Every structure is written in C-alpha cells, then in structure tokens.
Amino acid sequence: MIQIIFTLIVFIIVILLIATEKMNKTIAALFGGIILFIFLSYYTQNVLNTISLPLKFDLENINNLLILSSGDIPLFEKFILLLFQNGYLTPIQFSDFVNFMIGTEENNFNNLRTIILLLGIMIQVEIYHDAGVFQFIALKLVKNSHGNPEKLLLICCLLSVFMSSIISNRLTIILLIPLTIMICRILNINPIPYILSEAILVNIGGIMFLISSGPNILISQAAGLNFVDYLIHVSWIAPILLIITYFIFRFYFKKQFRMPEQNLIEVLEEFNPWNFVPNRQLFYKSIISLIATFTLIILLPDYLDVVAMTISVILIIFSKLKVEELIKKIDFGLILYLLAVFIITGCLSYVGIVDSIGYALRGITGGNSIITTQVVLWVSAILSSSIDNLPIISAILPLMPILTFGFTNHQYKLSYFALGVGSNLGDNLTPMGDNILVMNLSEQHGAKLNFKDFFKIGFLTTVIQLLISNIILGIQAAF
C-alpha cells in the first residue's frame, strides 16, 4: 500500500539524517512530520476514497476497469491506485494532527504532559546551572581526592552519575569535561582516563530516576508509571552498575595512574568552590527547590508534570530572575523535535505499521514476559547506540501494548523499565551521539581523545552493564 511504503521511506530518511548528522535533527524531524501529514491528509481524502469499493492488485478486476475509464481521476492517481492494493482508511483531519502531538483524552494527553514535564525540568536545570550548584558540588568533591588518582576516578564517576541523574547527559558533559581537564592540568596528570569514565557513566545516571532522561520521561507518561515504582524496580540498579563499572575502569587504567607532586596538590586545595557561585541567595534557593521537587514527586507520583512546572514558576518568582533571559537559554529546539517525532510516530501508527511490527515481535517473544523484557532491553540498546534514542523510544512505545498484552501489572511495568534502561545504556555501544561532543570538547581543551580508545572501553563496559541489567530485570520478571 502506497501510504505504508511512503510513510516507511520518510521515517527511514529522517532516521538516517539524524544518525549521520547531515541535517539538524529538529529540522529533519519537522520536515518529515509535516511531509507525512500533508501526504496522508491528501491521500486519504482525495485518492483512497475516490471510490468506495476496495481495490485489488488485479487488472481484470472491475474496480480497476472503473478507475481506468474514469475521466475524473488524474493519470497520476490512476497509476497509484492500480499499482498498490489499497484498503479504506478514515480520512485524516487536522484534529488527528493535533492528537498526534499532544495525545488524546483516552491516553490522558500523555504527549502534552511529557512536554510540560520536560519543560519544567529544563527551566530548573538552567537556573541551577546559573546558580553554580553543580560546579560548586563538583569542585568541592574533587578537592577531597587530595590528588589520589584512584580517589579522583571514584569522585569523577560519582559526579557523572549524580549530575546526569538530575540534568541532561549533554549538560553534564559540558560542565564536567572542562573542569576535569583543568584539575588534571593543575595536578599534571593524564586526563583521558577520567574523561572516558565520565562520558560512559553519564548514561548510568540516566536510569537513576524517572525524570533523569528524555526516554524515561517519555516512557513514564506513556505507560502511566510513577516515581516510586521506578525507585523500587530500577533506581537501585544504577549504584550496582556504578560500582562494577568503577572497578573495571580502575583495573583498565591502572598503569596510567600516578600520584602528583605535593606542591601541585596544595595548589588544587587552595581553590575556593564558592568562586563558581555568582549569587549565594540563588544558590540556596536552588538547593531548596531541588529538594522540594524530589520530595513532591515522591508524594505526588501521578503529577510529575504539574510538580516540575510549579516548582519552576515558584523558583523564577522568588529568585526574581529575568524571564526573557531565562527563555533564551531553554532548548525549545528539543520541544519542537519531540512534537515532530510524535507526529511521525502517530503517522506510523495510523497507517498500521506499528501494529504489524508489534504482532511480529509478539510472535517472536510468544507473550513470555521474561523474553519480552530481554528483547526490549537489547533492541532498544542496539538501536540507541547510533541513533538518537528519543525517536527510537517514540517508535517502540506504541508497540508495547501489543508486546505486553496479558501481562500482570508487575510484568507490564518491568517491560517498560527495560525499554528505558536499554535506551539509556545503549548510547555507549558506539562512540556516536553525545560521545562526539565529549571528543570535541576534549580536543578543544587540549586533551586528544580518539575513536578507537572510546570504542574499546565503551563497548566492553556497556555490554557488561546490559548483561547485569538483563539478569536483574529477568529475575524480577520471573518473580
């Protein structure tokens, strides 16, 4: 069917443009979404329903003879109708376009709530960044290493996981990498082991909380998962992966560690973390807001979006910030990107592609909850290794009701949790995505990091992390 083929082609082109970075991902997604909607709108209203009888790929069929003899159908449309077997589709309307973006009453407007939650978190993060919260904490902890390379590695690992559990992986990298290189220059030690460790561990931070990453936010809204459920089933996996990964790094980089000279350690300890805090009042208000956000999310797990946005507004009011300046810093490109992805996945579902793939995968898993959890974990990880995980998650989410049909509530939740864990951890299977940013930032600050070094340690640790997660989630699904 032409609508299926065309939709698939556009989806694949958008994915390739994003993966190869030939075009800005927001522009690519918007272009794909708009093209798909315009085509499906015209096709379902003017082509498919030109005649009411079903059409078959058979030139002797009377319907095809009627098409050929009709003077009201343009030649191009005759070709389309004859070439493909078409069934009846309800004409797509502008209301469907809106529903694709924000969701419907039946699914509790999940897409809109996802955007609100994401926007609320982004506003808070920008304020915390301006207040110097994360820079202060990072330098305070680094000073406690007293120059010991193994302690410094542990602190860098802890910082990566902690910061990326609250702010985006990208912002964590932007804040940590230059700071790490500066510390290593002061101590006159090789920064590469620390940079690699931070880059790989930010993805563990992404599975710490339900609001720690874009995929988690999308999944929680689509599946109706709450913060407490996530703490019980997934959050505790992150510390286990952190400890195991730290010891892998410690062994792997052992020969590169050396104790710096005492006078250089003294120079580091003279640094004052408060130099990173431009406004102490804003700093303390930010800390209070951060604590309040996590407290309310636990107490009101079904209102993540309302809590995040409310705290953001209150913080803006009491901090007396200039809203115009704050708005300039918000990544509205990400919001538009998500809206475009919602349109594309809505079109995939509309033409039946999602159902077809879902039932095919259901045939592979056989409706077994343990196998489903494993398949979802590894498929999402592999796909996310070289492609932006947000469109991948958006494409997989509509499949989940089919894959989890008949599951208990416990098994249903674990399948969605596996999707989040896989999409977050899979980033480091290849040196793509945010890892390109790591290499660029390192080079800009005089620390050359090559593709081969990143791939060797990144692939090894990620496979180990996925295997451990697979075992833990599999055991939970079995019981």
% of the chain with per-residue pLDDT over 90: 4
Find out whether 205 and 162 touch, Cβ atoms under 8 Å.
yes
Q: Which residue in this structure is represented by tokens 């309310």?
A: 296
Local structure of residue 107 (DSSP, 8 states): T
Question: HSE (CB half, 13 Å, CA atoms) of 69?
Answer: 7
**pLDDT grade for 101, boundaries at 50, 70 and 90:** confident
pLDDT over threshold 50, residue 66: no
% of the chain with per-residue pLDDT over 70: 84
Find out whether 161 and 201 touch, Cβ atoms under 8 Å.
yes
**pLDDT grade for 24, boundaries at 50, 70 and 90:** confident
pLDDT over threshold 80, residue 396: yes
Angle formed by the axes of helices 110-131 and 169-187, to 10°?
Answer: 20
CB neighbour burial string for 8-30, b if at least 16 within 10 angstroms, e if fewer: eebbeebbebbbeeeeebbebbb
pLDDT over threshold 70, residue 349: yes
Instruction: Note the Cα 171 to chain centre separation in Å.
Output: 14
* pLDDT for the residue numbered 243: 92
Name the token pair of 309. Answer: 């946005």
One-letter identity of residue 69: S
Mean pLDDT of all residues in 327-332: 80
Sign of the torsion formed by the C-alpha atoms of 451, 452, 454 and 458 = positive
* pLDDT for the residue numbered 466: 92
Q: Is 87 helix (H, G, I), strand (E, B) or coil?
A: coil
Whether the predicted model's global pTM rises above the 0.75 cut: no
Which ranges of 75-166 does DSSP label H, i.e. alpha helix?
75-83, 94-102, 110-131, 133-143, 149-164
Lowest mean pLDDT among 61-75, 252-266, 368-382: 61-75
* pLDDT for the residue numbered 189: 81
pLDDT over threshold 80, residue 390: no
* pLDDT for the residue numbered 476: 86
Does residue 119 or residue 432 have the better pLDDT?
A: 119
**pLDDT grade for 50, boundaries at 50, 70 and 90:** very low
Instruction: Sort 386 into a burial class: Cβ within 10 Å, 0-12 / 13-18 / 19+.
Output: middle
* pLDDT for the residue numbered 467: 93
pLDDT over threshold 60, residue 230: yes
Give which of 274, 260, 276, 263 is closest to 151, Cα–Cα.
260
Mean pLDDT of all residues in 228-241: 87
Does residue 215 or residue 451 have the better pLDDT?
A: 215
